[in-house]
A and B are shown apart, each in its own frame.
Chain A
Amino acid sequence: MKILIVDDEKDVEMLFRQKFRKEIKNKEIEMVFAFSGDEALALLEEADPPEVMYVFSDINMPGMTGLELLEKVKARFPMINVSMISAYGDSDNYNRAISSGAKEFFTKPIDFESLKKEISEIKG
């Protein structure tokens, strides 16, 4: 299963690759990374239908925000799951994300246990 992580912080890639080291090594999941909303959309459009099944996106990013990306992804690829990961777990962000079709809302610092659980449920 291919997962796309979107965050403007580049070290997120290193963190996720290490956290999911076993799953990636065992080829249970494949991870791709984008560092902006535009980059994420371009990556999704590379293949038709897109190979990515799940997008996890940060909200506060320069340029396109995670919430804008969520709306665009949901409009173009309704079959792709999108969940938000944000340091700002306030009710405004949460409500907007859920009403725009986000599957889950994770707050930073990321609880990787619940993230792994979420991924395995989708995989299941």
Chain B
Amino acid sequence: MSEITFAEKTILLRDANDRFIRLCINETNRSEGDDLIPADIMGYGTTIDELITNRKEFIQLLDRQAEEMSKSIVSFEHIPVFERILNDGDTGIFVREILLDLKSDDYHVNFGIRISVIVSLIDGAYKVVHWHGSAPVMSENDTFHVKDIQGKTEKLEQQVKERTAELHASLEKLRSAQEQLIVQEKLASLGQLAAGIAHEIKNPMNFVNNFSELSIEYVEEIRIELMKIPASDQTAEITDLLNELESNLKKIHQHGTRADNIVKSMLMHSRGGTGVMEPTNLNGLMSEYVNLAFHGMRAGKSAINSKITLDLDPHLPPVSLNTEDFSRVVLNLCKNAFDAMREKTLKPEMESYLPDLRVSTKHSGDKVVLTIADNGPGVPDSIRQKLFEPFFTTKKGTEGTGLGLSITHDIIKSHGGTIQIETVPGEYTHFIITLPIKQTK
């Protein structure tokens, strides 16, 4: 070896360092290290357990690194930092920075390692007697890692806060879902009870109506018979009494008919299961029945002028519907809207008020959102909760059965959908129906 020059030794030292680095990052075959690694190699890796005191441990470390890296795509960049050749070229100290880039499906890490290596000529070959690897912490002016730990703690605290907020949000969601479930259960059992009662009441109600109707006919026949008797104070008195009797009978018949209408609605309500769910052009159904509701209202006793705006999503796919039932939902909600807006027109300060009914459909993922919005008087908070309960009505006297919204609610529920109300008293009421496009049964 004595004839080798200093320059040549330097090249051999650099080459040994080079081979060692490539070995460490698994760029070369393990056998390359055979004459490079002495039996008593000593070194530090970047983690606390990486204290190496012999060749066997070093090989184990390389194996473990190879295992870790096998899951990722790895790329390197070598940056020489320091080099010192000592002992006439028999020993070299090399310092390098290696920038690693590890990529896998789960992570992407950029990583810097500082490696110092001492290569020395032992028994006629250049070997690595010692190396030290370290990884810098990712904060500046932090010799003793205090900032790093603080940063990590802060990050953890932040994560805990975020998770806690998420948990709060889902707890709230759960609570409101539970409340909704309780309300729905209450409504469902009331509905069943009501339907049972309706069946029992229908027959006696028919008798009340039939017999009162019959008696009205008899009063008329008595009048005809009475005309055949010469008029007197007695016949005048009888005629008076007959008139009273007839008006009473008419009252019985009128209220009996009213009760019969309630019972009929309840029966229709519970009829359930006879209609068929089939893919339906919801936009077509909407425009048909909104139109029908409008003309029904115009033809009725207390018509109002109302603007009708249809905003139907042209990209709506067919929606699974029981059209017979669902058209009642549309009619009910439109009728309610017209009734509500009429109330508002009757207020003396509302001279310039223009009723406006807006109906829209919107495709949203696997659902369709349907909105029936009026600019009527809105619903006060005090009665919002009761709105969908059977027999709850704000309409005076004989105008409403109190079943419209309860039936609406049940029909939507049987379609696997939901109905929500958004309202500002004095401003508007929006009924928002969400339906699944396909029924899952």
Query: Is residue B210 within 8 Å, beta carbon to beta carbon, of the partner chain?
Result: yes
**Which B positions have Cβ atoms within 8 angstroms of A?**
199, 202-203, 205-207, 209-211, 214, 218, 260, 271, 274
B169 to chain A, nearest CB (A): 47
If A9-B203, A108-B202, A108-B203 touch, whether A90 touches B210 (CB-CB below 8 Å) is no
Which chain A positions have C-beta within 8 A of B271? Answer: 90
Q: Is the CB of B260 within 8 A of A109?
A: yes
Give every chain A residue within 8 A of B210 (Cβ-Cβ): 15, 19, 109-110
Known: A9-B203, A108-B203, A108-B206. A90 touches B211 (CB 8 A): no
Question: CA–CA, A9 to B211, complex, Å?
Answer: 14
- Determine whether the beta carbon of A87 is less than 8 Å from that of B206: yes
Q: B205 to chain A: which residues have CB within 8 Å? A: 109
Query: Does residue A92 face the partner (Cβ distance < 8 Å to B)?
Result: yes
Is A11's beta carbon under 8 Å from chain B? yes
B214, closest chain A residue (CB)? A18
**Is A99 interfacial (CB 8 A cutoff)?**
no
Q: Which residue of A lies closest to B271 (CB)?
A: A90
CA distance A69 to B71 in the complex (A): 81
Contact assessment for A15 and B202 in the assembled complex, using a CB-CB cutoff below 8 Å: no
- In the bound complex, residues from chain B placing their C-beta under 8 Å from that of A87 are 199, 202-203, 206
CB pair A91–B203 under 8 Å, yes or no, is no
Q: Which residues of A contact B207 (CB under 8 A)?
A: 9, 11, 15
Bin chain A's interface residue count: 10 to 19
Which of chain B's residues have a CB closer than 8 A to the CB of A19?
210, 214
A15 touches B274 (CB 8 A): no
| Chain B residues, Cβ within 8 Å of A18 | 211, 214, 218
Chain B residues with CB below 8 A from A15, complex form: 207, 210-211, 214
Residues of B within 8 Å of A91, CB to CB, are 274
Chain A residues with Cβ under 8 A from B202's Cβ? 87, 108
Instruction: Report the minimal beta-carbon distance from A11 to chain B, rounded to whole angstroms.
Output: 6
Are B274's CB and A92's CB within 8 A? yes
**Cα distance A17–B274 in the bound complex, in angstroms:** 36
B203 CB contacts on chain A under 8 angstroms: 9, 87, 108
17 pairs, A vs B, C-beta closer than 8 Å: A9-B207, A11-B207, A15-B214, A18-B211, A18-B214, A19-B210, A19-B214, A87-B199, A87-B203, A87-B206, A92-B274, A108-B202, A108-B206, A109-B209, A109-B210, A109-B260, A110-B210
Q: How far is the CB of A99 from chain B (nearest CB, A)?
A: 17
A15 to chain B: closest residue by CB: B210
Residue of A nearest to B208 (CB): A109
Q: Are A109 and B214 in contact (CB under 8 A)?
A: no
The distance in angstroms between the C-alpha atoms of A91 and B268, with both chains bound, is 13
Q: Which of A9, A108, A110 has the most CB of B within 10 A?
A: A108
B263, closest chain A residue (CB): A87
In contact, B274 and A90 (Cβ under 8 angstroms): yes
- A91 to B214 CA separation, bound complex (whole angstroms): 30
Complex Cα gap A92–B273 (Å): 11
**In the complex, what residues of B have CB within 8 A of residue A90's CB?**
271, 274
Q: How far is the CB of B353 from chain A (nearest CB, A)?
A: 42
A109 to B256, CA, bound (A): 11
Within the complex, the shortest CB–CB distance from B192 to chain A, in Å, comes to 17
Interface residues of A in 79-114 (CB under 8 A from B): 87, 90-92, 108-110
B260: A residues at CB distance < 8 A:
109
Give the residues in chain B near A11, CB-CB below 8 Å.
207
Q: How far is the CB of A86 from chain B (nearest CB, A)?
A: 11
Q: How far is the CB of B218 from chain A (nearest CB, A)?
A: 8
A9 to B207: give the CA distance in the assembly, Å. Answer: 10
